[in-house]
Amino acid sequence: MFRTFVQSTPRTEGPVDVAVVGGGLAGMATALRLQSAGLSTIVLEAHGHAGGCAGYWRHRGYSFDDYWEDIGTIGAFYRANLALTDPDPAFKLGDPDWPVYTRARYLPPSRISGCSIRQSMIADGCRLQDAQIEHSVIGIRSQIDDGAVIKDSVLLGADYYESRWPLGIGKNCVVERAIIDKNARIGDGSVIRNAEGVVEAEGPGYSIHDGIVIVAKNVVLPPGTKI
């Protein structure tokens, strides 16, 4: 157990392994971790009590009732991104009172032909051909080929264009409840939907967390892949 005491005179005991200067929250936490690792410690603090500013400063609260989301997990990141596609999202990218400034990429407008798109966001520079897209976020330079179905998914797009084997989603692919990282190549006829409802798993070029399939950056999935 971590033990603290205030001592105004020098210690008369033997030497310690580590001296921590400052008895604030950070100093006390450091001393605790050192002691947990088996090292003897002493905390040196100029004030007459431990805790630093947190122990004697007078604080006033601030109530923040606007938009905030913790995206520290895969599930939270996934839900926060798809929430932007809601008809009346909690965070409005087009709010005139709170403009969003971003780096201009000077990409061409997205080319969309023969597609069915519902409740989705499409970024610049994409090419979407005869695809069905529903409740999804489609990132910059995304390439989605004939017959593909994208649902409840976040595609991060690509960093560049390529003609040899185009980046993106191949023909007749099905992608549901997934996050596709940048520069991924999904071969024709692949199905990514976690039909078995796996919660956590690792596979070649992909992983599953919180039931969401994540295809890693720069990964090539051969045609006919089933996840």
Position 23 confidence tier, pLDDT thresholds 50, 70, 90: confident
Contact assessment for residue 44 and residue 23, using Cβ atoms and an 8 Å cutoff: yes
Tokens of 4: 């603290």
* pLDDT value at 10 more than 80: no
Q: Which residue has the tokens 């960093």?
A: 159
User: What is the rounded CA–CA span in Å between residue 200 and residue 171?
Assistant: 28
**Domain spans of the chain?**
18-56, 103-221
What percent of the chain lies above the pLDDT cut of 70?
88
User: What is the rounded CA–CA span in Å between residue 136 and residue 142?
Assistant: 12
The per-residue pLDDT for range 116-146, each reduced to its tens digit, is 999 999 999 999 999 999 999 999 999 999 9
Tokens of 28: 């006390």
* pLDDT value at 14 more than 80: no
Prediction pTM value: 0.73
Q: Where are the beta strands (DSSP E) in the chain?
A: 18-21, 41-44, 111-113, 116-118, 121-122, 127-129, 132-134, 137-138, 143-144, 149-151, 154-155, 168-169, 174-176, 178-180, 185-186, 191-192, 201-203, 206-209, 212-215, 220-221
CATH class label, 103-221: mainly beta
23 CB contacts (<8 Å, ≥6 apart)? 4, 43, 44, 45, 47, 49, 50, 51, 52
The per-residue pLDDT for range 170-223, each reduced to its tens digit, is 999 999 999 999 999 999 999 999 999 999 999 999 999 999 999 999 999 999
The per-residue pLDDT for range 65-117, each reduced to its tens digit, is 888 888 889 999 999 999 999 999 999 888 888 888 888 888 999 999 999 99
Quick one: which of 145, 156, 126 has its CA closest to 190? 145
User: What is the rounded CA–CA span in Å between residue 74 and residue 142?
Assistant: 21
* pLDDT value at 1 more than 70: no
* pLDDT value at 5 more than 60: no
Q: What is the residue-wise DSSP string for 134-177?
A: ES-EE-TT-EE-TT-EEES-EE---SS--SSS-SEE-TT-EEES
Strand partners, 59: none
Strand partners, 214: 179, 207
Contact assessment for residue 42 and residue 5, using Cβ atoms and an 8 Å cutoff: no
